Structures are given as structure tokens and as C-alpha cells.
Chain A
Amino acid sequence: MKALPIVLAALGVVLLVRLGLRRRGRRRSSPLSMPTRGLRGTGLLGITGLVAGREIRERVRGRVLRVVTLILFAVVAAAVVIPTIHTGTTTRQRVGVVAGSPALDAELQKLATTVGLPVELVHEPDLSAARAALSTGKLDMVVDGGTRILVQNPISTADTSTEALYVRGVATALGAQETFARAGLTPEQAAAVAEAKPLPVESVNPGKQARTTEEATALIGVILIFIVLTQYLTWTLMGVMEEKASRVVEVLLATVRPGQLLAGKVAGIGVVALVQAVALVAFALVLAKVVGSGLVHGAAPLVVVATLVWLVLGYAFYSWVYAAAGSLAERQDQVQSLALPLSAPLIFGYIVSLIGVSSGNASLLVKVLAYLPPTAPFAMPTLVGFGEVTWWQFLLSVVVSVVCTVMVALVAARVYRTAVLRTGGRVRLRELVPTLAK
């Protein structure tokens, strides 16, 4: 029930974005007559939509997008499929039994079922024949009555494979039966003892339950957000710089307002980013369904939706900052010197969230970062993955992010307007202070 409001909030954001796009699309397609007669019909969204349309067209046409998308699809496919391949390829174990009995066979099969290991019991006439078969690899292990177990190679205590678990389980169970027999227990008593279950352990604080699937999904989501944000924010930065360097911005600003140009660029690149991310997520979900991955089970879809919502919000927040920074530079080297300080909060939020989601524990720092717009795109999906966020906390973080994005956009537009037409070297922020202070 806790998840429902979060899903609704996320769907609301997605619907708003889609509605905005549809309106832009309609405006774009509404024909105007020749300029001197039809200019009054072109509103803010019309021009912004045109600029965004150009960005989308040029980005989609570029080879970089295709290559990066292919790589991302391959990475997502590997992340979804490889874990299922690992669990599904356990080979059938051939277990040699010397001096066996129906009870021993039943016990060995029961233990195999418990650890999820398919086994085939092979009855050997004597120990030497069993040893020979084990040496040649015809058998994987040998159970010598109820007395000992032979394996090909020593098993490390750190080995957590299913085969190792089975060997240890058989050794423990048969050892216990041997002890029970020596203690004089009847088979019924021994069976009753063997069926003993550990007492439940409860903590006094409401702890999280095992949510490995959700956490794994959050991990993939955080990585996806980082990759997509890094790629598209760099495009925004470079795109603005290139417009300034090629002086085309002077031609554009002769007829387009700076805010329209900036918003169109941010929106255009953002749409490409969102479409790519949605395609990746859809691909991951379909693939997960096909291969039976845990990605589509439990609350994992909720984490997926949260990832998309914060991808949009993260891009919206950072894109203005990167666009304004791009207007300060007119050369590649100037852009590089700007990119590092800009990406610092982004990398910080990513690393802290990554450590949190990898360690299986949402630290206090992650919980704080989930409410700061620069780091929330990573920290909040992490908290959703841990199931440690309520719908109102999620919504609060969204509202904080949206409000801060609007404020950042207003400042960025002023920086852009002032800096983008200044040429002859990198514009220092302190040079803009008098203009911004007006």
C-alpha cells in the first residue's frame, strides 16, 4: 500500500512530461503563413519546440548516440541475463553411494532438493570402485555408507557454490544421524531431531527485510542514471559551447529569445535522454520477464519507475547548470576546465549511493542526500530500493527538486543571456556579477 502513492506520483510526472511534449508537437505542426503575415501566431512553445526538434534530429542522426545506445543495451542485457544464467546452469551431480540404503538415498535426495542441486545417485559395489570412478570424474562425490564422504578436491570454507553447500549439508546431516544412532535414538526420534527448526530471531527495531532484488534493481538504476546524466549533460555543455564558438548563436538570438533557445536545447536533449532511458528500461523489463529474472518481481518495478522519475528530475536540475556553463566557454579546453567542478556533486551523490546500495545499508548520509537536488537523483532511488522511504518523503524530495530547478533555471538563463554573446576568451563568473545583480 505504501508503494501506491509513489507509483501515482511517478506516473503523474511522466504524464506531465508527455503532455508537454504533445503540446509542443502540436504547436510545431501548426502551419504559419509567410512570416510577415503569420508571425503573431508563433508562441513561446512554438520556437522552443523548433529548437528542441532540431536538437533531437541532430542527436538522433549522430553516430555517437547509436553507439552509446547499443553499448547500454548490451550492458543492461548482460546485467539481466547473466544472474539467471548463473543459477540455471548448475550441472547434475553424480553421487556415488557405497553400502547405501533406501533411507540414505532418501536423505541424499532430500538434501539435494533443499539446496536446489539436481543429483543422480549411483550405487557402487565397493569403495575401491567408487574411488576409481571419482578419480576419473565419472562421479562428483562418494558417500561411503554413513561414515565418510569423498570428493575430488578439497572444498574451501569460502566456497559458496551449490555443490559445496550440498557436500557440507550431507556431511552435517549424516554426521548428526551417526551421532543420534550412537546415542541410542530410535529412527523416529532421530527423524524428529533432524526435523528441528531454528527459533525465529526478531529485532526490537523495525528492520528491513531481505530485498535483494529491489536493491539489485536500485543498483542498476543508479548506474543507469549516472551514465545517462553524464552523457547528456556533456552534450548540453558542448552544444551550447559549439553554438557560441561557431557564432551561430548570434544569428539565432537575432530572432529567438535567449530563454527560448536555452529551453529548446535543454528540452530537446532531455527528450532524447528520456526516450533512451525508457527504451532501456522497457527492454530490461521485457528481457527480465522472458528469462525469469527477479527484476519484475516484488517491488522492483517501483524502483524502476523511481529511477526514471529521478532521471528526469536530475537532468532537469543539472541541464540548466551545464547549459549556463557552456555559455562561458568557446573552446574545448575551456569546457573541460568547467566540467570537473560541475560534475563533483554528481559524482559525490553517485558514489555515496553506490556504496550504500552495494553494502545493503542506507546510511544516514544517503538519507540526507535524498533531499538535496544535486544528489537526490541517486540517493532517492537507493532509498526506494531499500524500501526505506514513504510516499510523502518521496514527494517532498520531488517538490524540493522541482522548486530548486526553477530557481536554477532562472539564474542560468541570465548567465546564458549575458555570457553567450561575449567572445574573446572564457567569461569569468565574477565578470557577470554586475549584470546578474541588476
Chain B
Amino acid sequence: MAGLLEFDGLSRRFGTVTALDDLSFSVPSGQVVGFLGPNGAGKTTTMRAVFGLTDLDAGSVRWNGMPVGATQRRRFGYMPEERGLYPNMLVAEEVEYLGRLHGMDRSSAATATKQWLERLDVADRATSKVEALSHGNQQRVQLAAALVHDPEMLVLDEPLAGLDPTGIDAIGEVLVEQAHAGRCVLFSSHQLDLVENLCGSVVIIDHGRLVARGTVDELATSGPRRLAVRVEGDRQGTWAQGIPGVTVSEVDGGEVRLVLDDATDSDVVLEAARSAGRVTEFVIERRRLSEVFREAVGR
């Protein structure tokens, strides 16, 4: 079920506002791809473009090298930012109906609906009206609706917003499971810690342009290397002063945080620390995704 979703040179203007500015990136299958950006960066417009819900001034969206059309879209699953379900319909009927709109026959849709409602722990509300459910449970039903037809590709706009930890775990688990099963999964979120935990790779956009992309490991270890070192008996970190190619960024209770330039090896720092006393902490620090994000968008 391997697939590749490609965004190629997407541009879209709304009046004087540029929502997308020659945006290009791809989403491979087999991993959850986090789609990040500040509010108004163009994430939702990009996701809507996959489903033809917004017109593009330029560019195209391709699935496995082919332009995305109605046939492809019926094999995609979509969870929009502003949740969309008929409030008066019964939960199971609604999920089944949406499955049938994707081409499932009645019995397959009914079976898949039952399975997904059970999997997402809302089976006991199958005969309730959607409007009678809590926000979190409606979110689970919305995810069931996006998954019921066994899509090859999932696009989820803020699927974790407003959920409690249990809901986040349940939905996050499903997303990872879907990716591991070979689906393409693209989801946006402002909860960067969750993205860091769930995603294999990340795409960051700002003002409709791509500003960073890569695997979480690549982004976390890119840029200047950072060390956190603690030497017994030296709470001021004086041992670290004057090491060529090393800058002290912070000293906090004896822990010294250092930034190394490209030419400086971490062994140089380790030697200097050992010569000053017993080294009780020596950590090569990864950048948090939030740091990567702030650096990428310049805010």
C-alpha cells in the first residue's frame, strides 16, 4: 500500500493575502508526517487543496505521480479542522453513511463502522445522536469516519486539539498504527511535544512557504551541537571558560550548557572537563522540536 503524496509549487492568494507561495514537499507512506506552522501559515489551505476544497492559482497535488482527482480522493481519509458531522444523525449510521459515500457496500461499511467504533472506544454510543456526545467522543467519531473506508492516505487537520490525555493517546496510537501499516499520514498540530513523539518526520511552513523539513532526528540534531556538562565542585563553570570554539550559553547550578562550533570536537570539551575535576554529567543535547520550530519561523 506504499504511496507518495506530492505538493508541487502550490500557490494561492485570497485577495491581498498570500496563503500559499510556491509550496512544495512530499509525504511518504509508512510514517506519520507532522505538518507545522504558525496560525495563518497556510496549513489548512494546503490540506484542503488535497481534496479540491480550495482552488489553486498554481501548482498541483499528486498521488503516486498522478494528479489527484475524484477517484483518488475517495481512497483518502480527511478530518477537517472544524469538525464536520451531522449533529442529528446516529453515530453508527453517520460513520456507515460516510463509508458508503467512499464506495463501500452496506455490509462492509457496517462491519468497518462497528470495528472502528470499538477500536476508538465509542461503540457504546453507536445509537446516540452525534450532538449528544462530548467533544472528545465526537472527535473519535470523526476519526472513525475518516478511517472507515480503509484509506490509503490520511489528512488530519488538528486531530488532537482539545482532547484529554486519554483521547490523545487513543488517536495518536491509531495514527502511528496506520503509518506502520503503510498508509500515508499527514497531520497538523500546534502541540509540538506530541508531534515530536508521534511523527517520523516534520514539515514546517510559514507565510505559505516551506521553511524546514526532515526527520525529527535530523531536525533535532541539525545546527550547532549542544552539550550539557557538570563538573563536581565547580558550580560557576569556570572550567569551560576559554576553550577554543566553545561558547558557554548558560550556567545553572553547576550545569554548564555549551554550544560548539563546527570545527570543535566534543572530545576537546570532555578533556577540559576531566582536567578540572570529576565529570558527573556529559550530555549531547538534542534540540526540542519547539526550538527547531521557533528558529524556523523566526519567532
Decide: B152 and A249 in contact? CB cutoff 8 A: no
Asked if A253 and B71 sit within 8 Å, CB to CB, the answer is no
Per the bound structure, the CA–CA distance linking A271 and B60 in Å amounts to 40
Assess A40 versus B100: contact at CB under 8 Å? Given A31-B106, A246-B86, A250-B53: no
Nearest CB in chain B to that of A54: its residue: B97
A41 to B100, CA, bound (A): 12
Q: Which of B59-91 contact A (CB under 8 A)?
A: 70-71, 73-76, 78, 80, 82-89
> What residue in chain B is nearest A249 (Cβ atoms)?
B84
Name the B residues within 8 Å of A41 (CB-CB): 103
Chain B binder among A82-90, A190-198, A254-262:
A254-262
A58 at the interface (CB under 8 A from B): yes
CB contact between B83 and one of A39, A51, A247, A252 (< 8 Å): that residue: A247
Candidate in A51, A248, A254 with the most chain B CB atoms within 10 angstroms: A254
Residue of A51, A251, A423 contacting most chain B CB atoms (<10 Å):
A251
Say which residue of B51, B100, B149, B152 sits within 8 Å of A50 (CB atoms).
Answer: B100
| Chain B residue at minimal CB-CB distance from A41 | B103
Report Cα–Cα, A51/B98, bound state, in Å. 10
Shortest distance from the beta carbon of B16 to any chain A beta carbon, whole Å: 15
Say whether A42 contacts B103, CB under 8 Å: yes
- Establish whether residues B84 and A256, one from each chain, have CB atoms under 8 Å apart when the complex forms: no
Select from chain B the residue with minimum beta-carbon distance to A435: B55
Assess the A251–B97 pair: CB atoms within 8 A.
no
- State whether the Cβ of B170 lies closer than 8 Å to any Cβ in chain A: no
Contacts A39-B71, A251-B78 given; indicate if A33 touches B105 (C-beta within 8 A).
yes
Q: Are B82 and A250 in contact (CB under 8 A)?
A: yes
Pairwise interchain contact B70-A252, C-beta atoms closer than 8 A: no
Cβ contacts under 8 Å, A38 to chain B: 103-105
Q: How far is the CA of A309 from the CA of B84 in the complex (A)?
A: 37
| Interchain nearest-CB distance for B120 vs A (Å) | 17
Partner of A35, one of B85, B145, B150: B150
Contact residues in A for B98 (Cβ distance below 8 Å): 251-252
A32: CB under 8 A from chain B? yes
Question: What secondary structure prevails in chain A residues at the interface with B?
Answer: helix
* Cα distance, A42 to B104, chains bound together (Å): 9
Bound Cα distance from A254 to B47, whole angstroms = 11
Q: B103 touching A32 by the CB < 8 A rule?
A: yes
Q: Is the CB of A1 closer than 8 A to any CB of chain B?
A: no
Give the distance to chain B from A338, nearest Cβ to Cβ, in Å.
22
With contact pairs A34-B150, A35-B75 given, residues A251 and B104 touching in the complex (Cβ less than 8 Å): no
Are B102 and A35 interface neighbours, CB within 8 A?
A: yes
Task: Kindly provide the distance from the CB of B31 to the nearest chain A CB, expressed in whole angstroms.
Answer: 20
Residues on A with beta carbons closer than 8 Å to the beta carbon of B106: 31
The total of interchain contacts (Cβ-Cβ below 8 angstroms) comes to: 96
1/0 per residue B140-171: CB within 8 Å of A? 00000100011110000000000000000000
Q: Does A325 contact B (CB under 8 A)?
A: no
Q: Any chain A CB within 8 A of the CB of B101?
A: yes
- B108 is an interface residue with CB less than 8 A from chain A: yes
Question: Is B107 on the interface with A (CB-CB < 8 A)?
Answer: yes
User: Contact at A47–B101, with CB atoms within 8 Å?
Assistant: yes
Contacts of B85 in A (CB 8 A): 246, 248, 251
Given contacts A36-B150, A250-B80, A254-B51, contact A50 B70 (CB under 8 A): no
B73: chain A residues within 8 A (beta carbon): 254-255
Q: Indicate if the CB atoms of B102 and A255 lie closer than 8 Å.
A: yes
User: Are A31 and B84 interface neighbours, CB within 8 A?
Assistant: no
A35 to B151: give the CA distance in the assembly, Å.
Answer: 8
Cβ < 8 Å to B, chain A residues 33-63: 33-36, 38-42, 47, 50-51, 54, 58
C-alpha gap A134/B83 in the complex (Å)? 81
Bound Cα distance from A10 to B105, whole angstroms: 36
Let me know if B104 and A34 touch, CB within 8 A.
yes
Closest A residue, CB atoms, query B79:
A251
Known pairs A34-B150, A54-B97; A247 contacts B84 (CB<8 A): yes
Contact of B80 with A255 in the complex, beta carbons under 8 Å? no
| Structural contact, A247 and B105, CB atoms closer than 8 A | no
Q: Does A421 contact B (CB under 8 A)?
A: yes
**Which residue, A31, A246, A249, A423, has most C-beta atoms of chain B within 10 A?**
A246
| Closest beta carbon of chain A to B113's beta carbon, Å | 13
Residues of chain B lying within 8 A (CB to CB) of residue A58: 86, 88-89
Within 8 A of B (CB), among A404-430: 421, 423
Residue of B nearest to A421 (CB): B53
Across the interface, do A252 and B107 meet the contact criterion of CB distance under 8 Å?
Answer: no
Q: How far is the CA of A47 from the CA of B97 in the complex (A)?
A: 11
The reply to whether A246 and B87 form a contact with Cβ atoms under 8 Å apart is yes
B88 touches A251 (CB 8 A): no
B103: which A residues are within 8 A, CB to CB?
32, 35, 38-39, 41-42
- Taking A58-B89, A252-B98, A254-B52 as known contacts, 15 extra A-B pairs with beta carbons closer than 8 A to each other, sorted by chain A number, are A31-B106, A32-B105, A32-B108, A33-B108, A35-B74, A35-B104, A35-B151, A36-B150, A250-B80, A251-B84, A251-B85, A251-B98, A254-B53, A254-B73, A255-B76
| A-B residue pairs in contact (CB < 8 Å), sample of 5 | A31-B106, A31-B107, A38-B105, A246-B84, A246-B87
